[in-house]
Structure formats: structure tokens, C-alpha cells
Structure 1
Amino acid sequence: MAIIAQLSDIHIAAGRGGAVDDDSGPVRSLRAAVSSLLSLPARPDAVVLTGDLADSGLPVEYARLHALLSPLPMAVYPMPGNHDDRDALRAAFTDHPAVTASGVLPQAPVQYAVDVAGVRLVCCDTTVPGAPYGAMDADRLAWLDATLAAAPDTPTIVATHHPPYPIGIRFIDDMRFTEPEGFAEIIGRHGQVVRLISGHVHRGSVGVLAGRVSTTCPSTYRQLFLDLTRPGRAAVTGEPAGFAVHLVTDEGDATTHFVPTGNYRPLMEVE
């Protein structure tokens, strides 16, 4: 059995003076998320960070992010979102060989696969430099196809920043994963993929792509207002921050839990 936690849309931000304020909302929220994760009765085997880790893609933001994650005793696997800078992210996580080995050319996609307790985690790069929407070009799709083909019998979670299915919130769907048909075709060819996970939405949601359950993760910082009207409003809410926990059994069955941030304790034992 493998347990993989997902933190997303952290948005560590530098202030006007160029430094990250330790009392800022994103910093306090990430501290709370890390504390909540460590309070779980069964600690995850690994943590994946599904993008928008920094707000402006600045080296100082990634340095603070890396330090805030240091209490986690398990492996942490970062990947970029549309707010991130690939090179700055890669430079901050030099202690993660899978990340640094994902590319040596400037602004090369941050994409890699790792094994976590018998489950394969495949991290895809859907970012388009300078754009809020996501896409995977022919080279990235070919990489994904070859990566999945290399381990056809291992239960696999595929992670992206941009979700490959419509959310229904106009603000998010305007920054969607464009033309996900090629991605869906590849996923459909590889039966070992048991879950697709994404960020970007700043709230939990569940959809389907190529017959596979797909989920998005709450933000560790702020949640987007659930307005499904048209044209709808782009707004944040006071809903609690959170994260996701993905369980994959030895038989390859996958379950996703959405966890609100906070060190919650049992109120009573249930017989």
C-alpha cells in the first residue's frame, strides 16, 4: 500500500522589499498544512507538489518554500504551475535528483517519474511559459507515452498542474488544459494508470478522463469561490485550506481523500 499526499497552489510570495514575510498568509498556511500532514495517524510515503508553488517564480520564494518543507521526513516531489519558473524551481530543489535530472537546457520541462512504495508517480509539465493556460506539446506527450510504457504492470498516478477535464468555474476553465485529447489518448492506452491528479483549481473536484478518475486538490492557501453560473465571478472565499491524500492498495485500487488544514483529533471512539 502506498500513501501519497498532495499539496498544491501554495503561492509563497515575496513582498515589495524582495523578501518573504514569515507572517504572510501563504507562509502561515503552508506551516499549518505541514503540521496537519504530520499529524495524520498514517504518515504518507511521499508528498507531491502540483504547481503554483511560488507566486512570482522568484528564487527567494523557492528558497523559503524549501525551508518550510524541511520538517517533512518523506520525499517531496515538486512540479511547476503557471506561476512558477522552471529554472528557479529546479535550482532550489537540487537535493531532489529526479527534479534536477529532468532537464539541463534553460526552461526545460520539469517532468519525471519516481517509485513510491510500489506505486509509480509520473509528474508531467503542462506549463506554457508566459501563459496561464496549460498544454502538452508533441515532445512532452511522447515522453509521457514512453514513460508509461516502461512500467506497464505498476500502478501509476499521473500528476499535472492544469486539470485535463472541465471544472465549470469560468475563471478556471478560461485557463484550462488546452487540447487535452492527445493526453487522454495516451492515458487510455495505459491501463496501469489508476488516478490522475491536478492542482490549479484551488478546491477539490472529481472528474473523469479516458475512463480514469481525475481529481483536483484544495489549495494550502486560498480556495476559489464555487460559482458555476455564466459568466460567474472570479473570487476567493473563506473556506478552509486543505490538501489531498491518495491511497493506492497493493491490488492497485485508488482512493482520494480531501483533508482540511487543522490538527483535528477524534472527538469520541466509535464502536
Structure 2
Amino acid sequence: MLIAQLSDPHLCAPGTLYQGLVDSNAMFAAAIRRLATLDPSPELVLISGDVTEHATPEEYRLARLLMADIRQPVLAIPGNHDEREAFRAAFADAGYLPAAGPLHFVAGDHGPVRVIGLDISVPGQHHGDFDAAAAGWLEAALAAEPDRPTLIMLHQPPIETGIGFIDAYRCFNGERLEAIVARYPVVERVLCGHVHRHMSLRFGGTLLQIAPSTTTAIALRLAPGAEPASFVEPPALLLHHWRPDVGMVTHHVPIEPGEGPLAFF
């Protein structure tokens, strides 16, 4: 099963630029065009939060318009730049989000790999929180099919990346999530966004991976007290390839593929 992960498009009102600097809308459209070139095509597309920049109805209308060009089913979760009720309304017709409460979901009808989405957003704040209620919900969801290969998707990573100015807005109570994941070895990946960089590390006996943004990249500044900054680096998506005899392999796929194909040597 092939699953593509896009993250942090930060879509803005038509005719406006993200942070007044870059055309995030055009960059997301380019990512969708890149999706269409993948061969074989993914069976499912995930968007790991910050679909919009200001969570306005206009931005969500644009999101749905652009996403209409994605041929595959799409599962999205909110990020800290989204707003829960606006997000719920924008994606209500997709059928996978609950009618009330946090936007947690379980999607198990798109192939052999089950996808669990966690809404760990804190209304009005930029950090996330895996609270006791979310922990109880996730434990029940995992226990319902304890032998099925599973991806868990949330926006803010539940770990410190080493980039201090973004770690302040991580998902808190990550150790609670890690303890649950450790009890379910069927969790193939914990997938995140938020950091606008591709990162991976061991987490709860599995692999936690952070997807790059389809727009700007957070500056890789690991020095304590470093000033926040971003760069326009080559954007990318992640492609997760699950096979029953292998497990999951994850590929970093640039939006602009570069020169080639060239002769193999």
C-alpha cells in the first residue's frame, strides 16, 4: 500500500502571500501535480495539519478547490493554524470526521493499513497537548484491531527536535503517547508536521517521522537561543510504502524532481 503525506500547506486567501513572502497556494498546487506523476499512484493521501494560515472560510474554500484535483481519498487533520469548528465544517462531507468534540478519527477502509488521526490542537494556542481524554480514545482505537498495521497522525510532534524556537510549540505530554505506542507494535509510524522539516527518530518502539512543508522550511538552527527564521528550501512530500513481507519504507520525494532521468551508471 502506498500512502502519500503532504503537510503544512498554509493556504492563504487567493491573491495573498504566506507571511507576505511566498505563494503557498501555488506551491501546494505544484505538490498536487507532483502527486499525479507518481507511478504507481498512492492509494491514499494524508495532510498532517495547517491546511490554512488563518482558518477563514475563504481559505477553506480554496483548500477544497485545490484538493479536488487529488484523485485519491484524502484524510486531513487540523494544525495550530486551523480552527477546529471551521475545519469540521469544511470537511464535513468527507465523512471521516466526528460531528462533535476533537477531530479524532479511525480510517480503516482504504487498504490494509489503518490510519488514526489525532486532533491534539489546543484552541487559541500554538502548542498541542496529548491529554488524558485523547489517551483514552487512542487506547480504545488501537485495541479495537490490535493486530492491524497502523499509522498514527498528529500535527505537532510529541518530542523536542532540538530547534528551540519550534520546540516551545510541540505537543506536550508526549511521554503519555509514547507509552501507548510502545504497547502496540503494529504502529508502523507516528506521522507529524508542524516543523516544516523532514526528521525521524525512534519513538515508542517505532519510527516517528516529521514531514516537510509544501511551502517554507523552518531554519535548522540547533544552537540554544537561536533566532527564529525560515528558508525557501526545495519542498517535498513523504511516500510511505507498506508491504506485508517488509513493513513500511518511507521515501522523501521532492516536489520538483530535478534533472533526469539520466543514464544509470
Which structure 2 segments of 5+ residues have no match? Answer: none
Moved more, 164-173 or 216-225: 164-173
* TM-score of the two chains, using structure 2 as the length reference: 0.93
Q: After the TM superposition, which residues 142-221 of structure 1 pair with which residues of structure 2 at under 5 Å, given as runs?
A: 142-221=136-215
Q: After the TM superposition, which residues 77-88 of structure 1 pair with which residues of structure 2 at under 5 Å, given as runs?
A: 77-88=75-86
Whether contact under 8 Å (1:222, 1:241) holds in the other structure is yes
The 2-side partners of 1:87 and 1:221 are apart by: 25
Tell me which stretches of 4 or more aligned residues in structure 1 moved more than 2 Å.
263-271
The 2-side partners of 1:147 and 1:238 are apart by: 38
Alpha-carbon displacement from aligned partner over 1:16-70 (angstroms, at most 9, x marks no partner) = xxxx228871110011000111111111111111111111111111110111011
Moved more, 71-80 or 87-96: 87-96
Whether contact under 8 Å (1:33, 1:220) holds in the other structure is yes
Whether contact under 8 Å (1:165, 1:208) holds in the other structure is no
Give the secondary structure class of the aligned counterpart of 1:145. Answer: helix
User: Which residue does the alignment assign to 2:49?
Assistant: 51
Q: After the TM superposition, which residues 259-270 of structure 1 pair with which residues of structure 2 at under 5 Å, given as runs?
A: 259-264=253-258, 266-270=260-264
The 2-side partners of 1:133 and 1:198 are apart by: 13
Deviation at 1:223, TM superposition (A): 0.6
Moved more, 24-33 or 256-265: 256-265
Q: After the TM superposition, which residues 1-271 of structure 1 pair with which residues of structure 2 at under 5 Å, given as runs?
A: 2-14=1-13, 20-21=14-15, 25-99=23-97, 102-104=98-100, 108-115=101-108, 116-251=110-245, 253-264=247-258, 266-270=260-264
Give the secondary structure class of the aligned counterpart of 2:151. Answer: strand
Aligned amino acid, residue 102 of structure 2: P
Whether contact under 8 Å (1:197, 1:216) holds in the other structure is yes
The 2-side partners of 1:223 and 1:175 are apart by: 16
Deviation at 1:256, TM superposition (A): 1.2
The 2-side partners of 1:252 and 1:138 are apart by: 34
Whether contact under 8 Å (1:119, 1:156) holds in the other structure is yes
Aligned amino acid, residue 249 of structure 2: T
Change (3 A) 1:32 1:270: same
The 2-side partners of 1:135 and 1:103 are apart by: 21
Whether contact under 8 Å (2:185, 2:205) holds in the other structure is no
Identity of aligned residues (%): 33
Deviation at 1:267, TM superposition (A): 2.2
Deviation at 1:269, TM superposition (A): 4.2
The 2-side partners of 1:140 and 1:103 are apart by: 16
Aligned amino acid, residue 121 of structure 1: V
Whether contact under 8 Å (2:43, 2:72) holds in the other structure is yes
Aligned amino acid, residue 114 of structure 1: A
Deviation at 1:103, TM superposition (A): 3.1
Change (3 A) 1:65 1:55: same
Alignment: residue pair count: 260
Whether contact under 8 Å (2:131, 2:173) holds in the other structure is no
Alpha-carbon displacement from aligned partner over 1:97-156 (angstroms, at most 9, x marks no partner) = 112xx132xxx2111011232100111111111111111221111110000001111100
The 2-side partners of 1:22 and 1:73 are apart by: 27
